[in-house]
Structure 1
């Protein structure tokens, strides 16, 4: 992997988690007032800090080695683990409308299966509160480079937009 490729992947890994953690959904962006109360801003800043620290650790561990290359989505699973340990926020990938790249990415729970179906049907996200946990699954559009691997077992390429999903679980107080 070239130095410029490693740098690009590292930059993408550094910015993506923050965008996922603190940015509004596409539906919320148009004309939305992004100002929030201090308590929400404090919580978002703490989460963003944890995500940045975990991402930096993962980048150094996975990308600045000559002997191996790791896919960005796999490296982010280490970030999920670290952030989960520090904040209680759970995160995992799910396959939506491409083959799962790992059996761990198959939607397993009823929520994950419903979320995958909703995202495949064109929704940006799917959410539910259950068992004292706020769950949200958001669409992760797969670009051309992603699709070439994710659909390598498909018989014929098509123009269907392809997605994976990112499932987050946040424990609720008093639920």
Structure 2
């Protein structure tokens, strides 16, 4: 059976997207960890697992942004990378007549891993581009962000309890709406968003 292009090639994009995002967020090359491991003394599997978790937590703390400007730059970087991956998947791999899964749904797996590994929460925000309950605003921040995007803004941000929150514009053109909004009655572009949030470094006195 012929593999669907999104499944066959989309995985390559997902792997690249996740790997580049992880490298950027961690702030250190993946090879450094391997070099460190060669110098370590022999450990039991339990000790190795505990050490790996400790290194992961340490990298999370080291990689947290210090300022709003740094946090904004990271959010814009993630938005651009993920939005670009979505567009390429649609352009090169997606077959409308054989759509087992939408590219945006495939990227949800990347979002889950970013949340698990780096405490970076990412989700699609429907605004007026979908009626799916999973993509509706879930709180006041996302409601305000959706309203801002509808008013023509390209991004919206806020700091909440030492966590940076960002929503960037994702515009859906008419050809996208054949799958995303099947019951549409008009042909104008619709507005969606990509919501991104992650912790910032706590300020010390």
Tell me whether the two structures share a fold, i.e. TM-score over 0.5: yes
- Which structure's residues are more often helix, by fraction? 2
Gaps of 5+ in 1: 23-39
Q: How many residues align?
A: 140
When residues 12 and 150 of structure 1 are mapped into structure 2, their CA distance, relative to the original with a 3 A threshold, is: same
Q: Distance in 2 between matches of 1:72 and 1:11?
A: 12
Q: Distance in 2 between matches of 1:11 and 1:137?
A: 26
Tell me whether 1:135 sits opposite 2:135 in the alignment.
no
CA-based RMSD of the aligned residues comes to: 3.9
Matches within 5 A, 1:84-163: 84-101=115-132, 103-154=133-184, 156-159=185-188, 161-163=189-191
Q: Which has the higher contact order (CA 8 A, sep 6+)?
A: 2
CA contact (8 A) 2:125 2:192 kept: yes
TM, length-normalised to structure 1: 0.62
Q: Distance in 2 between matches of 1:157 and 1:119?
A: 19
Deviations 1:58-103 (A, max 9, x none): x9xxx9xxxx9221111111110111111110111111122333x1
3-state secondary structure, aligned to 2:123: strand
CA contact (8 A) 1:95 1:165 kept: yes
